[in-house]
Protein backbone atom coordinates (compact mmCIF):
# COMPACT_ATOMS: atom_id res chain seq x y z
CA UNK A 1 0.00 0.00 0.00
CA UNK A 2 1.32 3.43 -0.97
CA UNK A 3 0.49 6.64 0.96
CA UNK A 4 -0.21 9.90 -0.88
CA UNK A 5 -0.71 13.52 0.22
CA UNK A 6 -2.30 16.02 -2.14
CA UNK A 7 -2.42 19.79 -1.67
CA UNK A 8 -5.85 20.94 -2.80
CA UNK A 9 -6.63 23.99 -4.92
CA UNK A 10 -9.57 26.40 -4.64
CA UNK A 11 -11.30 24.48 -1.81
CA UNK A 12 -11.87 24.92 1.91
CA UNK A 13 -9.85 21.79 2.59
CA UNK A 14 -6.11 22.28 2.25
CA UNK A 15 -4.86 18.70 1.90
CA UNK A 16 -6.08 15.17 1.29
CA UNK A 17 -4.19 12.10 2.50
CA UNK A 18 -5.05 8.59 1.32
CA UNK A 19 -3.60 5.18 0.57
CA UNK A 20 -3.75 3.28 -2.70
CA UNK A 21 -3.32 -0.49 -2.59
CA UNK A 22 -1.78 -2.77 -5.21
CA UNK A 23 -5.22 -3.29 -6.84
CA UNK A 24 -5.68 0.50 -7.03
CA UNK A 25 -8.37 0.63 -4.36
CA UNK A 26 -8.49 3.74 -2.17
CA UNK A 27 -8.21 3.54 1.63
CA UNK A 28 -7.80 5.78 4.69
CA UNK A 29 -8.98 9.06 3.14
CA UNK A 30 -8.37 12.02 5.47
CA UNK A 31 -9.14 15.64 4.64
CA UNK A 32 -7.45 18.55 6.41
CA UNK A 33 -9.80 21.50 6.68
CA UNK A 34 -13.11 21.83 4.89
CA UNK A 35 -16.74 21.13 5.77
CA UNK A 36 -16.53 18.62 8.58
CA UNK A 37 -19.77 16.71 7.95
CA UNK A 38 -19.22 16.16 4.24
CA UNK A 39 -15.59 15.29 4.69
CA UNK A 40 -16.40 12.68 7.33
CA UNK A 41 -19.00 11.09 5.04
CA UNK A 42 -16.89 10.86 1.87
CA UNK A 43 -14.19 8.61 3.38
CA UNK A 44 -16.83 6.24 4.75
CA UNK A 45 -18.63 5.99 1.41
CA UNK A 46 -15.49 5.67 -0.70
CA UNK A 47 -13.40 3.26 1.43
CA UNK A 48 -12.15 0.39 -0.74
CA UNK A 49 -13.54 1.82 -4.00
CA UNK A 50 -11.39 1.39 -7.08
CA UNK A 51 -9.52 4.45 -8.27
CA UNK A 52 -11.26 4.30 -11.65
CA UNK A 53 -14.75 4.21 -10.12
CA UNK A 54 -13.96 7.00 -7.66
CA UNK A 55 -12.61 9.25 -10.42
CA UNK A 56 -15.63 8.52 -12.62
CA UNK A 57 -18.10 9.37 -9.83
CA UNK A 58 -16.43 12.47 -8.38
CA UNK A 59 -14.72 14.25 -11.29
CA UNK A 60 -16.32 17.52 -12.23
CA UNK A 61 -18.36 18.05 -9.06
CA UNK A 62 -18.28 21.75 -8.22
CA UNK A 63 -18.91 23.75 -5.05
CA UNK A 64 -20.43 27.17 -5.64
CA UNK A 65 -18.39 29.43 -7.91
CA UNK A 66 -15.08 27.62 -7.33
CA UNK A 67 -15.12 25.39 -10.42
CA UNK A 68 -14.04 22.44 -8.24
CA UNK A 69 -14.92 20.84 -4.90
CA UNK A 70 -13.34 18.70 -2.22
CA UNK A 71 -14.77 15.65 -4.01
CA UNK A 72 -13.37 16.80 -7.37
CA UNK A 73 -9.99 17.45 -5.76
CA UNK A 74 -10.00 13.90 -4.38
CA UNK A 75 -10.72 12.59 -7.88
CA UNK A 76 -7.75 14.59 -9.20
CA UNK A 77 -5.51 13.30 -6.40
CA UNK A 78 -6.48 9.67 -6.90
CA UNK A 79 -6.13 9.90 -10.66
CA UNK A 80 -2.62 11.36 -10.28
CA UNK A 81 -1.66 8.67 -7.75
CA UNK A 82 -2.99 5.86 -9.95
CA UNK A 83 -0.99 7.15 -12.92
CA UNK A 84 2.17 7.40 -10.81
CA UNK A 85 1.71 3.86 -9.50
CA UNK A 86 1.59 2.55 -13.10
CA UNK A 87 5.15 3.73 -13.71
User: pLDDT tens-digit profile of 2-18?
Assistant: 999 999 999 999 999 99
Per-residue pLDDT band for 87 (boundaries 50, 70, 90) equals low
* pLDDT of 86 above 80: no
Domain count, the chain: 1
Which residues lie below 8 Å from residue 49, measured CB to CB, with a gap of 6+?
Answer: 25, 26
Predicted local distance difference test score (pLDDT) of residue 39: 85
The domain of 60 spans: 2-85
- Higher per-residue pLDDT: 39 or 54: 54
Which residues lie below 8 Å from residue 47, measured CB to CB, with a gap of 6+?
Answer: 26, 27, 28, 29
Q: What is the CATH number of the domain that holds 65?
A: 3.90.1010.10
Amino acid sequence: MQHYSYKTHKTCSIQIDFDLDEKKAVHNIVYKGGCEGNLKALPLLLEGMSADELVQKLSGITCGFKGTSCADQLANAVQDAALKSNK
